[in-house]
Copies of this chain bind each other. A is one copy, B any other.
Amino acid sequence: MSTGITEREQGEAGSPGSDRHLRADAQRNRARILDAATTLMAVHGIDVPIDEIAQLAQVGVGTVYRNFPTKAALFKGLLMARLEPLVSAARAAADADEPGEAFVDFVRNLSDEFANFKALADAMVDSGVDLDAAKSQISGELISAVSRLLERAQECGRIRPDVTIGDVAAMMAGISHTDPILMDPSQRKRCVALVCDSLLIGARSLLPQTEILQPPAPLRTGSRSS
């Protein structure tokens, strides 16, 4: 359910005179804010309160808002920076000699990246913070790059021809957005492996072999109280 926060500006505060002189303390604080935001976005996703970012950066909230007109504007740059390498990786994978293997590797890396930087996974779906313009660009570029990778892998006969980019996007989103109590890192890797199993043609199971023989871990149902 969106909270209705709307993006009001594309750029950051002061972008008109983007090379204008910044006082030394302002430069330092801006860097601290970006560091703090990166740290907290990785773990808590797009839901981190601005107050927490300000606290970790050791500045006041006012200072955050002097640098970035909205929370969305602050997040946009950091998300784009995280996205670019992924788009490049998808494009490179599409040109690889073995697009089937490249596809599986890419999907694994994408899942890792979503898990290691939760805000990126949040940005791919409706997350309460309206990143409209940024989100379109972010997800659009990634989707089109992965589309081409998928097509190449299908042309090579390694991926089922009836699988669509929508299937891949939905499955990746599902795996990336599930409660970490149900989807801890080990479980996530298993799910990625199972998904890949269902996409590949005639592959050996990709499920981690080391986890197969152990007795099934008791399922934790998510009660986090005592």
Q: Which residues of A contact B (CB under 8 A)?
A: 1-2, 44, 47, 124-126, 130, 132, 135-136, 139-140, 143, 147, 160-167, 169-171, 173-175, 177-179, 181-183, 187-188, 190-191, 194-195, 197-199, 201-205, 207, 212-226
**Complex-state Cα separation, A124 to B213, whole angstroms:** 26
**Complex-state Cα separation, A165 to B188, whole angstroms:** 14
Given the known A-B contacts A167-B191, A178-B173, A217-B161, are A223 and B136 also in contact in the complex, defined by CB atoms under 8 Å? yes
Q: Provide the main secondary structure of the chain A interface.
A: loop
A195 pairs with B197, CB closer than 8 A: no
Q: Which of B166, B190, B201 contacts A187 (CB 8 A)?
A: B166
Q: How far is the CB of A119 from chain B (nearest CB, A)?
A: 13
Given the known A-B contacts A171-B194, A187-B167, are A225 and B130 also in contact in the complex, defined by CB atoms under 8 Å? yes
A182 pairs with B191, CB closer than 8 A: no
Contacts of A167 in B (CB 8 A): 187, 190-191, 194
Given the known A-B contacts A1-B47, A166-B217, A194-B195, are A204 and B175 also in contact in the complex, defined by CB atoms under 8 Å? no
7 A-B pairs closest in CB distance: A174-B174, A125-B179, A198-B198, A139-B221, A164-B216, A161-B214, A162-B212
Contacts of A214 in B (CB 8 A): 161-162
A170 pairs with B183, CB closer than 8 A: yes
**Complex-state Cα separation, A169 to B221, whole angstroms:** 10
**Given A126-B222, A140-B221, A197-B224, 8 new contacts (CB under 8 A):** A124-B222, A143-B219, A162-B207, A171-B191, A173-B179, A173-B182, A174-B191, A205-B225
**Complex-state Cα separation, A173 to B222, whole angstroms:** 12
**Complex-state Cα separation, A173 to B217, whole angstroms:** 17
B221 pairs with A136, CB closer than 8 A: yes
**Complex-state Cα separation, A130 to B226, whole angstroms:** 13
A224 pairs with B182, CB closer than 8 A: no
A191 pairs with B217, CB closer than 8 A: no
